């Protein structure tokens, strides 16, 4: 007789904190993890938007709450991590997703613009990890998933030298973090989205959007859920032997060798 297997949702009962979750990719990650059975704490600054996003997830049958927090402030992120534990009893998964991508040509780029992008994207990742660590160490399957980008680690794009550098910095960070965190059984990996249909991307305008669709072999932009599915794999117990790695989610955008190949 065929042995019976147990039907299970692998994230059932896990607790996840997702930064930048009020909208866009973060909201997609929160939705995907909630659908896999996780309790999710959405963290970003705008309270009204965050509470609305959490309410939508609860209405759809998920277990979700919002906490207002700023990734550039370590104390604020510590409070956010404590809130997750206070509300749901543990913290097993951190999704360090919050990020900004203002555009500026290299010639016009100021030191302040450079610092601002690094403060949110790179230092924000560090603070989110540091704040969550004491609790992730207590989990028997601590998981960190960072949202990086194809821009920087793989590709270049005029206007985003500072952004690309900050996204590449995240990859450098996870490689050493993976080694340091291995003693606690915590894994850290990164997803590298291509162009994903989010509010942030819409702000770049219709021209950018059209140009991007044309350069993607699958001929569509990604959805926040596309990224969420990749994150849910890294966050799962099944991915426990994978750390310090990256997964590109871009519809094949980085593949073409010439402009006509896409
Ligand atoms: P988005 O639509 O602009 O959303 C960004 C989220 O981050 C918002 O919820 C925002 O909320 C939050 N946030 C910004 N600064 C924050 C801070 N200091 N502290 C806490 N939360 C903060 O952006 P997105 O397109 O979803 O991008 C999310 C991530 O994916 C970013 O790391 C981005 O680099 C990466 N990514 C995006 C794409 C894409 O095509 N969309 C492609 C590759 C990589 P508040 O302003 O209320 O805090």
**For ligand 1, what atom is nearest to the CA of residue 23?**
9
Per-residue pLDDT for 167 more than 60? yes
Using a 6 Å cutoff on CB, does residue 187 contact ligand 1?
no
In a domain, 83, yes or no: yes
In a domain, residue 4? The reply is: no
Inside any domain, residue 5: no
Which atom of ligand 1 is closest in space to residue 201's alpha carbon?
Answer: 41
Say yes or no: CB of residue 128 within 6 Å of ligand 1. Answer: no
Asked, for residue 1, whether it belongs to a domain, the answer is no
Q: Quick one: pLDDT at residue 257?
A: 86
> What mean pLDDT, rounded, does the chain reach?
95
Structural domain for 90, as ranges? 15-249
Nearest in space to 47 (alpha carbons), one of 65, 69, 68, 72 = 68
pLDDT band at 140 (very low <50, low <70, confident <90, very high): confident
Q: How many domains does the chain have?
A: 1
Which of 99, 131, 132 gets mutated to test ligand 1 (max ligand atoms within 8 A of its CB)? Answer: 99
Distance CA(148)–CA(167), nearest Å, equals: 5
Q: What SS3 state is found at 89?
A: coil
Closest to 136 in 3D by CA, of 73, 84, 179, 206: 84
Which among 22, 25, 159 is the best mutation to test ligand 1's pocket, defined by most ligand atoms within 8 Å of the CB? 25
| Edge-to-edge strand ranges of the sheet holding 39-44 | 63-68, 39-44, 15-19, 93-96, 143-147, 187-193, 246-249
CATH number reported for the structural domain that contains residue 133 in this entry: 3.40.50.720
Nearest CA to ligand 1 atom 5: 20
Looking at residue 261, its pLDDT comes to: 64
Flag whether 3 is in a domain.
no
Q: Which of 6-10, 56-60, 122-126, 167-171 has the lowest mean pLDDT?
A: 6-10
Mean pLDDT, to the nearest integer, of 150-162? 97
Ligand 1 atom closest to the CA of 69, numbered from 1: 20
- Per DSSP bridges, beta strands 15-19 and 39-44 are parallel
The reply to whether 257 falls in a domain is: no
Burial 8-47 (b: 16+ CB within 10 A, else e): eebbeebbbbbbbbbbbbbbbbbbbbbbbebbbbbbbbee
Q: DSSP class of residue 2?
A: P
Q: Is 149 in the pocket of ligand 1 (CB under 6 A)?
A: yes
Distances (CA, A) of 224 to 50, 105, 165, 193, 211: 16, 27, 23, 9, 19
Does residue 254 lie in a domain region?
A: no
Q: Is 200 in the pocket of ligand 1 (CB under 6 A)?
A: yes
Let me know the angle formed at the C-alpha of 137 by 136 and 141, rounded to the nearest 5 degrees. 65
Q: Is residue 2 part of a domain?
A: no
- Residue 97 Cβ contacting ligand 1 at under 6 Å: yes
121 Cα–ligand 1 center, Å: 9
């Amino acid at each position: 007789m065929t042995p019976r297997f147990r039907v299970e949702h692998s994230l059932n009962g896990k607790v996840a904190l997702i930064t930048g979750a009020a909208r866009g990719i973060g909201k997609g990650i929160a939705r995907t993890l909630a659908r896999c059975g996780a309790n999710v704490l959405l963290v970003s600054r705008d309270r009204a938007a965050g509470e609305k996003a959490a309410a939508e997830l609860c209405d759809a049958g998920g277990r979700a709450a919002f906490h207002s927090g700023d990734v550039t402030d370590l104390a604020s992120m510590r409070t956010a991590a404590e809130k997750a534990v206070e509300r749901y009893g543990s913290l097993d998964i951190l999704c360090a997703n919050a990020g900004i991508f203002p555009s500026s040509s290299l010639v016009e780029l100021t030191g302040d613009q450079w610092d601002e992008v690094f403060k949110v994207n790179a230092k924000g990742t560090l603070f989110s990890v540091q704040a969550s660590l004491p609790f992730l160490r207590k989990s028997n399957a601590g998981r960190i998933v960072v949202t990086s980008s194809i821009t920087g680690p793989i590709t270049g794009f005029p206007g985003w030298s500072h952004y690309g550098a900050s996204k590449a910095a995240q990859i450098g960070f996870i490689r050493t973090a993976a080694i340091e965190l291995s003693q606690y059984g915590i894994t850290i990996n990164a997803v590298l989205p291509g162009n994903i249909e989010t509010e942030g991307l819409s702000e770049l305008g219709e021209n950018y959007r059209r140009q991007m669709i044309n350069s993607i072999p699958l001929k569509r932009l990604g959805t926040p859920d596309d990224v969420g599915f990749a994150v849910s794999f890294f966050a799962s117990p099944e991915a426990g032997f994978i750390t310090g790695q990256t997964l590109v989610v871009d519809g094949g955008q980085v593949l073409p060798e010439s402009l006509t190949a896409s």
